[in-house]
Every structure is written in structure tokens, then in C-alpha cells.
Amino acid sequence: MNDAPTQTYLKPSDAKSWALCARRVWLDNKGMPDIEIPEDAFEALIIELGLGHEQAVLTELKKEKNVHTATSPEDTQRLMAEGVDVIYQAQLLDKENRFVGYPDFLIRHDSGEYQPADAKLSLSEDKKEIQVQLGFYRRILNVNLPAIVFLGDGKTAEIGDEANPITNQFVTEMRELLASDTEPLVRYSHSKCRACPYYAHCKPAFEAKEEISLLYGVQGRAVDELEKQGIQTISDLAASTPESLPDVPYLKGYEKKQRAILQAQSYFSGEVHIITPVNLPDGQWVHFDIEDNPLTGTGEKHVYLWGFLVPDFSNADFEYVWTDTDQQDEQGWLEFLAQIEEYRARYTDLVLAHYSQHERSTIRSYAKRYGMEGNETVQYLFGNESPLFDMQKPVLESLVLPLQGYGLKDICKHKDLVNFQWEDDSSGSQWSVVQFNRFLAEDNPEEKAQLKAKILSYNRDDVIATRRLEEWLRAKFMT
């Protein structure tokens, strides 16, 4: 682009970071030279698939319309004045308001006006950043016509005046943020910060400050109120009692306060606190974990791997159902149900242990997808005698751990807790999605087999981890 400085101009591509964290979008724009941004393979995959989707939309548009590619803001203006059907890679510049925007397409309406349009992998136009981006283009173009979103599942959506309030909020807040040379003060959020490229930059400062939102289960809005009441640090909270702690929003009642205080104490001591005895069901345990691909372009996740660890729980006792592509989705689901029936027959008192609600909700959505809610095996899985057992439940109910997140890896990898290490330390659920998408794109059979082996080994470690967690809970917290 010729003369559009992006540093001080407001640009809709900031909407994603802005929706996540004020500091993140500030850092994006202020370009701190000393901050090293780690590579993110999942993000790179999303960009690659997004570009593929954009090209697919472009191909479709070219079938019916005359498409011209813009090379600059001036060229975009010229093409608009000429009234061409579609302007690809449009460049919009509003020097007066200091706005810059790059809609994928400008599509000429019968009225002669242009509608901005973006190709998005998302399956819904309701996401904050999509509303802002398309609302922003409409604002630069000053059009009343709705903007168009070509969604990831092939559907088309429109965004009109309903996006104006959130777009105006974005403009106002971004102007304030960019006018400041000081990093905005924000709270720690484990889910957002862990996935953020600035994690290594922000975390030490939160720790030095003993920021209370570092604690699991204590929300930022509760911390605002606690600070007003004089509880400024984790030490202050650790020294409180449930009786002395004031009732503040999101931290009301004896139990919640007690947990927060124990979490604060555990932060320093590394101790595990037992709130109630751990209760695990008797029976013959089979550990269970799934891997799914959300990037199918159909709107429905494809479970490519249903993994199990059966007695005697060694590496060799890993069993699984695998499907190569989402074309085999139903086949994989039916094989999973058959596998359950096999375990039901093999283990008379089956406990199908998993960690978190994800497995249960995925089985439910598959039953719905294939109209099989009445299927006998499905009924068995969700009936009164259901073998499904979520191991996160007793952990959350009974224990306060020296952790900021209670995910399986948080607990299992911790040296003083379960202390189980995955064979591939870089693996994770997003990692698995990246590997599976590489598997899909790979033509070389040897490379393909290697990728599959890596994914299987990761899933096997996941179910071994839940087994280790079970053993740890039984040994330490059950008599």
C-alpha cells in the first residue's frame, strides 16, 4: 500500500486483539522491539486455511462477475469510480479520521454503491471482531447497505446497523489506547494470557505485583472490588479468613471465599488443600480421550481419533478408532459405538474415565448429528447407569492445588503433583489439530504414517495421564 501509515491509523484488523485484551492490542501497535513473539503453528494453520477460503470465494465470484484487483487506495477509488463489479483486495483510506481498512472484496450493488465483504473461516458472523471489522468498513465507505460475510461453511451472512455500537466503541477505545504511551493496566486471565504471544512479557510483572487475578477461580471483577476494600495482593488474601473477607461480586459466600484464600495460601506454599474427601467410583476403568478437528469447513467437528487405555494400562494397552478424513466421520462414530459395546461385554462394571466435559458433550453432539439419540449404546452412555466419569469433577470439588489452571496437563505435568510428562513436550490439543491437518495435506505415504504415529502417541499419553491421575488421587486422597 502506498501511503497509508498503519501505526497511528485505526485498522479493523486490530479488532481481534482488542476483543481479547486492551494491553495486547496496545502492544501490537506500539511494536515493542524487545518482545520476542513465539511462532504459533496453530495460528499459521488458521491463516493458511483462511487464505484458501478467500481464494475459493474469489473463484466463485469470478464465475459470475468481473473482478479487478486493487493495488492502492487511489486505485481502489479509481475502480469504484469506474463502477467495476468486484474489487478484490480493496484498500480504504480515510485520512481525516485516520482510518485504514482492507476488505477482501468490494461488491457493487444494483444501486451503484459498494458493499464491503470478507471471507471468514468462522461459522458465525456474531463474533465481536467480525462485527467490528465489517462495521468499520461500512463506516469508512459511509454506506447504508449491509456488509457481507462469506462464512467458513459456505453460507453468506450480512452485517448492518446492528454492528454500529460495537464499532463505535472500538473506535473510541482504540483512540484512547493509541494516544497513551503507557501499557494499559489489565487483569491476568489464565485462558487468554496462556495463549497470548505476550505471555512471557506480562507474566513476570503480574507475579512481581502479586496480582490476585493470577489465582485460579478469582475473576478480575472480584479483584477490582477486593482492591477497593484494601486487599491488594495475594499475600493480603492469603492472610484473610472467610469471615473477614467482604462479600464482593463473584466472590460471595463462605465456600467461595475459603477456596480463594486456600488458593492464595497454596500459591506460596505449594501445598494441596483437601476440601472434601475424593470419591472415585469402583469398577473396571477404561481411560478415554478424543482428538477432533474443528477446521473441517462444514461447521461440524470431525473426531479423527477416539482413544482408550484398557487394563493393564501399559503403552501396549492403548486401543483406538481412527478415521483418515471427515468423509469417514459416520464410520468412525459407528466404530466408536461398537468399541463401547465390546468394553461393555468385556468389563462387567465399566467406568469410562475422561477429563472434562468435552468427551461427553462430543458424544451427545454425534448422537444428534446422526439421529441416534435413541440408539441402545447411546442410551447406555447417558442413562442412569452411565459408565462415563469426568475425573475433573472430583478434582475441582475436593482439592485446591498450587496451580493457575486445572487442566489435565496443568495437574499431570506438575513435578510435585502427578508428575507425568508427555513424550512430546510440545504436544497439545491445538498441536494435534495442526498435525492432523498436515496429515490431510500430505501425499507421501511414509510422511503420512509418521504424522499419524505422532498423533497416536500424543493421544496415548493423554489417556496414560488420566490413568496416572487416577492412581495419584487414590494413593494420596483416598483411604
Residue ranges in contact with ligand SF4 by CB under 6 A: 20-21, 23-24, 27, 186, 192-193, 196, 198-199, 202
Cβ closer to ligand SF4: 20 or 440? Answer: 20
Cβ closer to ligand SF4: 203 or 364? Answer: 203
What is d(CA 350, CA 331) in angstroms, rounded to the nearest whole number?
24
Cβ closer to ligand SF4: 186 or 215? Answer: 186
> What is the nearest approach in angstroms of ligand SF4 to the Cβ of residue 214?
11
Cβ closer to ligand SF4: 404 or 437? Answer: 404
> What is the nearest approach in angstroms of ligand SF4 to the Cβ of residue 32?
11
Cβ closer to ligand SF4: 38 or 374? Answer: 38
Instruction: Kindly state the greatest CA–CA separation across the chain.
Output: 81
Contact indicator for 307, 459 with CB cutoff of 8 Å: yes
Cβ closer to ligand SF4: 18 or 105? Answer: 18
> What is the nearest approach in angstroms of ligand SF4 to the Cβ of residue 264?
20
> What is the nearest approach in angstroms of ligand SF4 to the Cβ of residue 213?
10
> What is the nearest approach in angstroms of ligand SF4 to the Cβ of residue 16?
12
Q: Of 188, 238, 246, 196, whose CA–CA distance to 213 is shortest?
A: 188
> What is the nearest approach in angstroms of ligand SF4 to the Cβ of residue 318?
36
- Which residues does 400 contact at the CB level (< 8 Å), separation at least 6? 259, 262, 263, 266, 272, 273, 275
> What is the nearest approach in angstroms of ligand SF4 to the Cβ of residue 20?
6
Contact indicator for 275, 259 with CB cutoff of 8 Å: yes
3-state secondary structure of 146: coil
CB atoms under 10 Å from CB of 201, counted, come to 17
Contact indicator for 332, 363 with CB cutoff of 8 Å: no
DSSP 77-98: HHHHHHT-SEEET--EEETTTT
Cβ closer to ligand SF4: 202 or 353? Answer: 202
- Which residues does 16 contact at the CB level (< 8 Å), separation at least 6? 129
Long-range contacts of 376-380 (CB under 8 A, 24+ apart): 377/337, 377/340, 377/341, 377/344, 378/337, 380/340, 380/344
